Amino acid sequence: MKFGYFDDSNREYVITTPRTPYPWINYLGTQGFFSLISNTAGGYSFYKDARLRRITRYRYNNVPIDMGGRYFYINDNGTIWNPGWSPVKTELDSYECRHGMGYTIIKGKKNDLSAEVTFFVPQDYDGEVQQVVLKNEGSNEKTFSLFSFAEWCLWDAQDDCTNFQRNFSTGRVEVKDSTIYHKTEYRDRRDHFAFYTVNDTIDGYDTDRDSFIGLYNGFHNPQAVEAGKANNSFADGWSPVASHYKKITLAPGETKTLVFILGYVEMPVDKKFEADGKTINKEKALAMIEQYNTPEKVAAGLAGLKAYWDKLLGILSVDTPDDKVNRMVNIWNQYQCMVTFNLSRSASYFESGIGRGMGFRDSNQDVLGFVHQIPDRARERIIDIASTQFPDGGCYHQYQPLTKKGNADIGGDFSDDPLWLILSVSAYIKETGDWSILDEMVPYDNDMSIAQPMLEHLKVSFYHIVNNLGPHGLPLAMRADWNDCVNLSCFSDTPGESFQTYTNPKFAAEGGYSKIAESVMVATLFTYTGPNYVSILKHLGKDDEAAKAQAEIDKMKKNIMDSAWDGNWFLRAYDANGEKMGSKECEEGQIFIEPQGFAIMSDIDADATKKTLAAIDERLNTKHGLVLNNPAFTKYYIQYGEISTYPGGYKENAGIFTHNNAWIICAAAYAGEGDQAFKYYSEIAPAFTEETSDLHKTEPYVYGQMIGGKDAGADIGQTGKNFGQGKNSWLTGTAAWNMVAISQYILGIAADFDGLRIDPSIPAAWDGLKAKREFRGATYDIKVSNPNHVCKGVKSVTVDGNAIEGNILPAFGDGKTHSVEVVMG
């Protein structure tokens, strides 16, 4: 069952009923000001940091689930409704929500009155613009009242939902003309305020929540709206809100357009106030309001936003025989990659924005998905991340975006972290050819006095693995590797301990974690990423160092075959007792997904590759994607940690963790199994799940972190319950990795150190594909034909009519368009 449809020409998903199986959301903003908006206008806004600079309030895990947002209420002679249906939930005569690239349009109609609201954050602007177009579509004059509504958050989102003894006494506002200013704590230590304004006169306002809503009412029946009139209330302590009230009369056919702006302003300390020392100096706010106070300016802002996305999405576009692939690659997957770039894992309907900063591993992997779109910002991001590394190559696991400092509460010792830096730096160089990033002086632990060139950071990353090996010559697992829930040094038997940050005191003497537990996943990640480091050294003429690094990679491959090959697949780990994890010898959790793909792509052993791909298909694949492990754990294994705490079929315990599905898609494509790769791709790609949105539940235009696996429900004797149900949509490394999988491995268009590599691994049934790719200052018009219907193999390549050797297109850098013909066979 579907709840809408894709409008590809407008790059929109059009939702046709407000009753989606979960709030289906969009993100507004690309630089500093961000908003989340659901298909009923629920959600919230923040500036840069979802925790430390939260502007509007949102209550997570609410009942009903999506309550609180920026709401417009209409009281039309006693019929009260919202253009987005919720929160009043009056049945509308028509409803539509269009989520587009950085904007959302919600349109509702009731009793011949239509209201269309366009929400967006313009480029270079710290505010959300909301344009409301009201139209009398009937034949009689209509008089009704309109109320806007936003609820201020008291800035620090964590504090906002805990420290009530203080919070209830701090709220402060100012009202001037049609603008409501939120200035809680502005008098003291904050140099920022927010405002909510409308470009017209108003008939009243409310700024105190209890006056507007009423203590015994809710968002669904605010007493001011029911009364049809505002109270002109003034918040003083308690809970500040912002609501404008306007009485409107429309002749038949007449339209009224109002532009609301929710803005954020930072002020220099000496200019915060007017001469009286207490009234906000509104100069900057008024200038901001001036920027979008007419429909014409709004139209120009929207056009600017569209141009921005045209540019970003114009860098890579494809035309394959499958519309769903085109829609994912050309629009939604790239869009989601930009959202994960901007938001990391901070704020979604599943991430409250208060728990985590930017992850070292997550943000490095995100780079892989967006580096072609905004290479400059990728460079900046990589440097920010690398600045939180320690001199020995270990890393802070997270940092806060506002301070860019490593998060000491979480600390380091996640065994995979350093390797992702090698991958992101390599991806950046491959895309741009900008080798100068390696010379950039980058601090350790944010301390510029011990800065070293980025190349040195790569070296310590590489050797951090080499210097931390266990008894089988495999990397120590430490607190966790990529899988946060494989905690081999934890042995936790006490509620409340964090599986990731708690390490059992029995390992204290050994430096905090087991010196026996080893991660095969990190071993294969090392043999997969290591060759990038070797290529970089060779390019720099450092042949001795390259040979030394290559020897370490070769040695690791040997150790993997000697100690981590289980006969049909690769082991997952050795636990702290020296026992195999992820072996046919285990009772549960006999095979795990994580090491397999990287092992295949490391060319460790051709026979092992074949057997592994077969085992994956047999043991892990389902119609909804590949489960993480099999069989699921049905009891708690103290030596494994969190992974065995989830009911089978969910999250890391045999859920379909879509992030690492991509590694297998890449690996199958790499191994020439284009059909197998595409099968796995289409099992999880959102556009392919659209038809079963009632089961899948999350948005059909973006990936989620997880899909319920085949073991879901087994614990309660209902095997298959929730199998196929999506969870945790939007902020996931799945976006970047599936972008890599489809564009680089399946469609086979991949930036490489020496040029643009074309090496498709597609379904044999395809006749070919076309693509347009901007790369290092030239445009490549690529046509691939597949006359013999193979999955993989390039027979010939011509560029502008001339045959070239091999399949790497040179970087022309001449600003011209080059036509490329590739024949497979």
Residue with tokens 């085109």: 326
CB-nearer residue toward ligand GLC: 431 or 652: 652
Q: Which stretch binds ligand GLC (CB under 6 A): 257-265, 483-491, 602-610, 814-822?
A: 483-491
How would you class 281 by CB atoms within 10 Å of its CB: exposed for 0-12, middle for 13-18, buried for 19 or more?
A: middle
Among 20, 590, 705, 738, binds ligand GLC (CB under 6 A): 705
Rounded distance between C-alpha atoms, residue 160 and residue 714, angstroms:
39
**Burial class of residue 606, CB neighbours in 10 A (0-12, 13-18, 19+):** exposed
Rounded-to-integer distance, Cα 335 and Cα 374, Å: 12
| Tokens linked to 75 | 């009281």
Residue 380 exposed, middle or buried by CB count within 10 Å (0-12, 13-18, 19+): exposed
Site membership for ligand GLC, residue 589 (CB under 6 A): no
Residue closer to ligand GLC by CB (options 407, 500) is 500
483 is a contact residue toward ligand GLC (CB under 6 A): yes
* Residue at token pair 């077969």: 614
Is the separation of the CB atoms in 280 and 181 below 8 Å? yes
Minimum distance from residue 584 beta carbon to ligand GLC (Å):
24
Q: From the list 206, 366, 575, 652, which residue makes contact with ligand GLC (rule: CB under 6 A)?
A: 652
Please pick, from the candidates 151, 322, 362, 566, the single residue that binds ligand GLC as defined by CB under 6 A.
Answer: 362
**Interaction mask 653-682, ligand GLC, x per CB under 6 A:** ------x-----------------------
- Residue 658 or 676: the one with the smaller Cβ distance to ligand GLC is 658
Q: Which residue is nearest to ligand GLC (CB)?
A: 484
What's the CA gap between 401 and 406, in Å, rounded? Answer: 10
Residue in 272, 361, 430, 459 binding ligand GLC, rule: CB under 6 A:
361
Q: Which residue in 49, 484, 566, 575 is the catalytic one?
A: 484
- Cα–Cα distance for residue pair 217/224, rounded to 1 Å: 10
How many CA atoms lie within 13 Å of 404's alpha carbon, on the beta-carbon side?
A: 12
Question: Per rule CB under 6 A, is residue 260 in the interface with ligand GLC?
Answer: no
* 359 touching ligand GLC, by CB under 6 A: yes
Q: Are 758 and 784 in contact (CB under 8 A)?
A: yes
Tokens linked to 226:
């029911």
Contact (CB, 8 A) for 634 and 647:
no
- Active-site residue 159, yes or no? no
The smaller minimum CB distance to ligand GLC, of residues 519 and 732, is found at 732
Q: Contact between 75 and ligand GLC (CB under 6 A)? A: no
Distance of CA 523 to the CA centre of its chain: 27
- Count of residues interacting with ligand GLC (CB under 6 A): 17
Nearer to ligand GLC, 263 or 401 (CB): 401
For the CB of residue 174, give the shortest distance to ligand GLC in the complex, in Å.
40
Of the candidates 168, 240, 172, 236, the one whose C-alpha atom is nearest the C-alpha of residue 206 is 240
Least distance (Å) between residue 495 CB and ligand GLC: 13
Among 482, 526, 701, 780, binds ligand GLC (CB under 6 A): 482
Residue among 500 and 729 whose Cβ is closer to ligand GLC: 500
As measured in angstroms, the least distance from the Cβ of 318 to ligand GLC is 27
Q: Which region, judged by CB under 6 A, interacts with ligand GLC, from 27-35, 479-487, 561-569, 792-800? A: 479-487
Closest CA to 435 of 444, 443, 426: 426
Residue 684 found at the interface with ligand GLC (CB under 6 A)? no
Residue 594 interacts with ligand GLC (CB under 6 A)? no
Counts for the chain of helices (H) and strands (E), in that order: 21, 42
The CB-of-652 to ligand GLC minimum distance in angstroms stands at 5
**Measured CA distances, 706 to 13, 17, 594 (Å):** 21, 25, 15
**128 touches ligand GLC (CB under 6 A):** no
- Nearest Cα neighbor of 466 from 452, 454, 480, 476 is 476
Task: Tell me if 484 contacts ligand GLC by CB under 6 A.
Answer: yes
What is the enclosing helix (H) or strand (E) of 705? strand 704-707
Amino acid, single-letter form, for residue 378: A
The only residue of 174, 518, 575, 642 in contact with ligand GLC, by rule CB under 6 A: 642
Catalytic residues: 484
Query: What residue ranges bind ligand GLC (CB under 6 A)?
Result: 345, 359, 361-362, 482-485, 499-500, 642, 651-652, 659, 705, 732-733
